[in-house]
Amino acid sequence: KAGVTQTPRYLIKTRGQQVTLSCSPISGHRSVSWYQQTPGQGLQFLFEYFSETQRNKGNFPGRFSGRQFSNSRSEMNVSTLELGDSALYLCASSAGLAGAAGELFFGEGSRLTVL
């Protein structure tokens, strides 16, 4: 069974630009969560999508957005990039069972550098 696939793996942008990251979950998984990982703040929850609907949202500004498609693939977008957005962005998928914390399976991440 293929794991979670994230693209691109590495990218460099400049301040003010926008970026779109893509995530393909494990086949059959309907929930996709996004996390930001930095040395200072660790892993922080961005948002979760389940059946094309945002189910949970973390404490990030509106410049961070996401969406999920009918095939469960997800994208996240960051607009007006700031230096502080440099981070590893991780996508995780789960079966998304209601009422329980999902056993999350993470991809290898997209490493974003903002210059």
Partner 1 sequence: QKEVEQDPGPLSVPEGAIVSLNCTYSNSAFQYFMWYRQYSRKGPELLMYTYSSGNKEDGRFTAQVDKSSKYISLFIRDSQPSDSATYLCAMSGANQGGKLIFGQGTELSVKP
Q: Which of 21, 23, 32, 81 binds partner 1 (CB under 8 A)?
A: 32
Q: Which of 2, 28, 62, 100 binds partner 1 (CB under 8 A)?
A: 100
Q: How far is the CB of 35 from partner 1 (least distance, A)?
A: 8
Q: Which of 43, 63, 80, 115 binds partner 1 (CB under 8 A)?
A: 43
**Separation of alpha carbons 69 and 53, rounded Å:** 9
Question: What 3 state SS string does 22-81 have?
Answer: EEECCCCCCEEEEEEEECCCEEEEEEEEECCEEEEECCCCCCEEEEECCCCCEEEEECCC
Draw the binding track, 69-88, toward partner 1 (x: CB under 8 A; -: no contact).
--------------------
Say how many CA atoms lie within 13 Å of 38 toward its Cβ.
13
Site residues (vs partner 1, CB under 8 A): 4, 31-33, 35, 42-45, 48, 50, 55-56, 58, 90, 92, 94, 96, 98-109
